[in-house]
Amino acid sequence: MKTYIIGDIHGCRRPFEELLGILDPDPSGDRLILLGDLFDRGPDSWGVLQVVKKLADAFGERFVLLRGNHEDYLLQPKLSFAMKKMWERVGRGATVRSFKEHGEKMEDCAPWIEEHAVLYYKGDGFSCVHAGLMADPPEANDVFTLVHDHGIVLQNRYAGPLAITGHIALGRPAYYAGDEENVIELSENQWRDLPANGIICIDAGCGKGGTLIGMVIEDRRYILYGAEE
């Protein structure tokens, strides 16, 4: 079984569908993990959700959706004034418009997101979280670290078992060794051995004019593919 991991989509349906075509995961046997932040910024959050729902049905128990900070904004029963302002700054309006074009409200999808989104995924030799980790295992971290923290990955201090994240919109995917020093930018279309420790961040700025990154893991090796926004 291969594992396919896709970074922050941010309402960009076209590169999302393009990347799915490149990766071509098999619903009958492969695992598909979405790292969260399906919505906001991009032009077609409604369309992204339709694709994601079909993937969830096709992959069944092998489908994983992580709860990103943008899902968390949607699911909070009451946002503070500061959080509301932050959500507006990071693209809420684009999602509202996208759903309105189809006669729906963004809030209508909250129950489906609530049912499917999880805080972390633990696989064979790696875990996945949206934002970052301070400690292993993932459940030892608070929700803010897992979902919202923008600094913990960049501090490059996590040296526990390998984690794969999104969230921080790097120019290119990168590997953080966890020694506060070594960071390696990762190119696409090249097989590499999967590291045992540290963090691989695959958010390359989709929704900000960047690239949507997909990762394939097979037999302790991995490769990255990209679809430009």
Q: What pLDDT does 91 receive?
A: 86
In this predicted model, what pLDDT tens digit does every residue of 188-224 receive, in sequence order?
Answer: 999 999 999 999 999 999 999 999 999 999 999 999 9
- pLDDT score, position 150: 92
Which stretches of the chain score pLDDT less than 70? none
**Token pair listed for 193:** 């051995």
Report which of 196, 157, 194, 229 is spatially closest to residue 8, judged by C-alpha positions.
229
**What integer pLDDT is reported at residue 194 of this predicted model?**
97
Q: Residue 80's pLDDT is what?
A: 85
The pLDDT of residue 82 is 86
Q: What token pair was written down for 14?
A: 């076209």
Q: How far is CA 110 from the centre of its chain?
A: 18
| pLDDT recorded at residue 90 | 85
DSSP 209: T
Q: How far apart are CA 134 and CA 156, in angstroms?
A: 10
Q: How far lies 63's CA from each of 35, 82, 113, in Å?
A: 11, 33, 13
pLDDT at residue 131, rounded to an integer:
98
pTM above 0.95, yes or no: yes
Please state, in angstroms and rounded to a whole number, the distance separating the CA atoms of residues 148 and 168.
Answer: 10
The answer for residues whose C-beta is within 8 angstroms of residue 220's C-beta and 6 or more apart is 125, 193, 194
**Residue in 227, 222, 229 with CA at minimum distance from that of residue 5:** 222
Q: What is the pLDDT of residue 201?
A: 98
181: left (phi over 0), alpha (psi -120 to 50) or beta: alpha
